[in-house]
Amino acid sequence: MTGTLRPLWAEYDEDALAQNLAFVRRLAGGRRLIASVKANGYGHGAVAMAEALARQGVDTLWTGSIDDALAIRAAGNKARIILFAGPLPSDMPAVLAQDLTPTIHDRAGAEAVAAAARQPTPIYLKVDAGLGRLGVPLEEAAGLIEAIAGMRNVVIEGIYTHLPFGTAAGRDWAAGRYAGFAALLRRLTGRGIRPAVTQAWASSGLLAGLPDDSNAVCVGHLLYGLSPVDADVAGAGALRPVLSAIKTRLIHVVRHAAGRDAAIGGQYGQRNARLSGVVPLGLGDGMRNAAAGETASLILRGRRVLILAVSLEHTTLDLTGVDEAAVGDEVIVVGGSDGLANGFRDFARWFGCSELEAVMGFSGRLAARQPRA
């Protein structure tokens, strides 16, 4: 998204990505790193994040979106791209033709690969070790894997599972479930099946430092500077947000006659805003009205300005006390400095959602700009 005349933009900080990546590599130790760019790169833009990761030496990407995977390919990115899931068995020929590596979790998918493959073709096999989303159930995994191992042209390159968690109780659950997955890998080794890649831990397991016998980790959250776990599970370390700022400009400033209530703020009980302003940031951009009891604010000329209301395309601000406010003034939505900043954590509280939900709501829809030096 470039060339927009709408004064609303996001700033992505590639130095932050590099620093987060270094942090992740330290935690991963000798394990290989696979980067997750799913969900449009966690809202940061799948193609842009894939390119930035390639510049940082990441050669293997993982996403669940075939469309994102194809867009990454179309942009000329040569990374290995593994699909978490997604294609119907009937679409397997197209997946292979685009040099994407499918995840298989049932016989029908494996047979579709075998039917489409003209040469030895790598697949990843996903085991459901207890999450209950995608994957062959742990108890059935050995049988499926042995059946696939006998299929012509189908090479099981990787076997993985997913045990994400956010709380201390979740950590204990994940550690218990991991034991079942590790036992499966040992059983397979005993039968001569040794995939090149084995992987269980994502951001949460890596950050919590859970024991790991597998040889790869697949990380998303941490790369973007997001922690998926509560503070009592693990600190967020040196993580820095890659989506470092969202900014806009005042497109309208209006002085209301003294004593007259502005109806726009009615629902918050904000009365008598003598000066109000409008920025082009609305529900369509991921902005939301604050939850009951919360009052959200943006930052203008080094001061907090309260939000009176959010409509489809606009946010109306109470500029009372910022008499010098003028059309064109920069308004900080996310970002800031010197003790005066908005983070996604603030928006999560104001919106009554998680930090990731706040990020996902905003990003991916905003024009990107590199931060100014």
Ligand X SMILES: *Cc1c(COP(=O)(O)O)cnc(C)c1O
Closer to ligand X by Cβ: residue 205 or 277 = 205
Q: Check if the beta carbon of residue 179 is closer than 8 Å to that of residue 213.
A: no
Nearest Cα to 314, choosing from 262, 279, 270?
279
Nearest approach in angstroms of CB 97 to ligand X is 24
Beta-carbon neighbour count of residue 15 at 10 Å? Answer: 11
Please give the Cα distance from 157 to 254 (Å, whole number): 63
Which ranges of 30-163 does DSSP label H, i.e. alpha helix? 38-42, 46-55, 66-74, 92-97, 107-116, 138-149
Nearest approach in angstroms of CB 226 to ligand X is 8
Closer to ligand X by Cβ: residue 20 or 316 = 20
Four-CA torsion 90, 96, 97, 100, nearest 10 degrees: 120
Closer to ligand X by Cβ: residue 33 or 110 = 33
State the maximum Cα–Cα separation within the chain, in Å, rounded to a whole number: 83
Write out the residues near ligand X by the rule CB under 6 A.
36, 38, 84, 162, 164, 202-204, 218-221, 228
Please give the Cα distance from 83 to 87 (Å, whole number): 9
Instruction: Tell me the helix, strand and coil percentages in the chain, rounded to 5.
Output: 35, 25, 40
Closer to ligand X by Cβ: residue 84 or 350 = 84
Q: Check if the beta carbon of residue 122 is closer than 8 Å to that of residue 157.
A: yes
Closer to ligand X by Cβ: residue 96 or 229 = 229
Closer to ligand X by Cβ: residue 207 or 262 = 207
Phi, psi of 158 (to 5 degrees): -140, 150
Nearest approach in angstroms of CB 232 to ligand X is 18
Nearest approach in angstroms of CB 218 to ligand X is 4
Under 8 Å CB-to-CB from 44, ≥6 apart: which residues? 12, 224, 242, 243, 363, 364
Q: Tell me the CA distances in angstroms from 123 to 154, 156, 160, 345, 365, one per residue in order.
A: 7, 5, 11, 38, 33
Nearest approach in angstroms of CB 291 to ligand X is 25
Nearest approach in angstroms of CB 182 to ligand X is 16
Nearest approach in angstroms of CB 135 to ligand X is 8
Closer to ligand X by Cβ: residue 49 or 325 = 49
